[in-house]
């Protein structure tokens, strides 16, 4: 599903960035552009990132 509509970022993409080595929300945000426009997705995107990092 789309987490970030503005930048077209999916939860799958976030998980992939984490399995490719991203270890923080900041890294995911910088590489995907997620939450850099309206910012409404930040909360959900952060929790998807945290969950993905935890399960690494």
Binding site for ligand FES (CB under 6 A): 4-7, 34-41
Q: How far apart are CB 33 and ligand FES at their closest, in Å?
A: 8
Question: Long-range CB contacts (< 8 A, 24+ apart) of 43-47?
Answer: 44/3, 45/3, 45/4, 45/9, 45/14
Q: How far apart are CB 20 and ligand FES at their closest, in Å?
A: 20
Q: How far apart are CB 53 and ligand FES at their closest, in Å?
A: 19
């Amino acid at each position: 599903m789309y987490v970030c509509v503005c930048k077209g970022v999916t939860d799958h993409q976030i998980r992939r960035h984490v399995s490719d080595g991203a270890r923080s929300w900041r890294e995911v945000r910088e590489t995907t552009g997620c939450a850099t426009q309206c910012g409404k997705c930040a909360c959900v995107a952060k929790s998807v990132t945290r969950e993905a990092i935890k399960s690494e």
